[in-house]
Amino acid sequence: MSQRIVTIFGASGFLGRHIVRALAKDGWRIRACSRRPHLAEFLRPYGMVGQIQPFKADVTDENAVRRAVLGADAVINLAGVLNGGFGGKRFTATHEEGAATVARIAAECGVTRLVHVSALGVSAESKARYAASKLAGEAAVRAAFPTATILRPSVVFGPEDQFFNRFANMARYAWVLPLIGGGETKFQPVFVSDVADAAKAALARADAAGTIYELGGPEVLSFRQILEMIVKVTGRRRLFAPVPFGLAKLGAWPAALLPNPPITPDQVEMLKSDSIVSEGAKGFAELGISPEAPEAIVPSYLWRFRRTGQFEPAPQ
């Protein structure tokens, strides 16, 4: 184990746990930051004794950020929210102000490498508050820490994801699955371990400093194709019903009031834009990574949504 220290904000989340595991194997000492550090205790066995330290730090708390960053060699900011709350205030606090705070304090503390995880498809033209806040966060990071590496992944899949798992669970009970906007929105699903490897490479490669990488998997799939894959893997026969964006947004308003909403109006707005790698953008190839296709990974964890789980023969 080396003496290199990396501070990771959002370490206990879906992507965070995989990055912690990858960097622990690479010998980094890790400050695994979370708003509720007791929920990050499960990360300790990913490394040697004392290698991974859960740390209480919220990116909206400047003093906590400074304590977490002081003495670190590198910082990775994964902090993000999918539900912006009333008026998108949580988006602003986390994606913009929080990202700016992390970048500024990292620069003040002499951190040599900063990796900031944003999202693929964000643009100034998007009316989604999520996308606008992510783009503003990128600008704030580059202003405070010009050599920061920015990763923009498409929809991320893996055993703990909230995309493939959510729709596979929905298909257990619903005979009809909604195709929002007709199901034509395009994605490049990316395996979570590949994104973790990209973060590790961004810390190791000198040419990654100040670079934006758009991370998409080897296949471009429409929303409809993704749902078709899910029902095939889980052995379900389901109907698909096109739902116009306007109607989907109207239905999402009451759902947004739930503690863990299945969809929000802002997410419907996001579905109006494709999440695919732009032409000429740097990506996995420049980081020396060959990404996995969802067909090779998704069946390994969606089997639990089949009628008899592991005892159900794999669909042909």
Q: Are 233 and 299 in contact (CB under 8 A)?
A: yes
Query: What value does the CA radius of gyration of the chain take, rounded to a whole number of Å?
Result: 19
Q: Which residues contact 294 (CB under 8 A, 6 or more apart)?
A: 157, 164, 189, 191, 217, 219, 221, 226, 229
Q: Are 73 and 122 in contact (CB under 8 A)?
A: no
Q: What is the pLDDT of residue 1?
A: 59
Q: Which residues contact 309 (CB under 8 A, 6 or more apart)?
A: 303
Of 24, 19, 21, 15, which Cα lies nearest the Cα of 51?
Answer: 24
Of 161, 311, 170, which Cα lies nearest the Cα of 238?
Answer: 170
Number of H helices, E strands in the chain: 12, 13
Best CATH choice for the domain 5-156+189-217+276-291 from the list 3.30.365.10, 3.40.50.720, 3.40.462.40, 3.90.700.10? 3.40.50.720
Burial class (CB in 10 A: 0-12, 13-18, 19+), 224: middle
What b-and-e string marks burial along 40-74, b requiring 16 or more CB atoms within 10 Å of the CB?
beebbebbeeebbbbbebbbeeeebbbbbbeebbb
Q: Are 224 and 180 in contact (CB under 8 A)?
A: no
What is the amino acid identity at position 279?
E
Phi-psi region of 89 (alpha: psi -120 to 50; beta: other; left: phi over 0): alpha
Q: Are 256 and 267 in contact (CB under 8 A)?
A: no
Q: Which two tokens stand for residue 20?
A: 């912690």
Note down pLDDT in tens along the chain; length 316 residues.
Answer: 568 999 999 999 999 999 999 999 999 999 999 999 898 999 999 999 999 999 999 999 999 999 999 999 999 999 998 887 766 789 999 999 999 999 999 999 999 999 999 999 887 777 889 999 999 999 999 999 999 999 999 999 999 999 999 999 999 999 999 999 999 999 999 999 999 999 999 999 999 999 999 999 999 999 999 999 999 999 999 999 999 999 999 988 887 777 778 888 999 999 999 999 999 999 999 999 999 999 999 999 999 999 988 888 877 6
Q: What is the pLDDT of residue 84?
A: 76
Q: What is the pLDDT of residue 67?
A: 97
Of 36, 113, 84, which Cα lies nearest the Cα of 270?
Answer: 84
Q: What is the rounded CA–CA span in Å between residue 241 and residue 127?
A: 25
Q: Are 140 and 106 in contact (CB under 8 A)?
A: no
Sketch the domain layout of the chain as residue ranges. 5-156+189-217+276-291
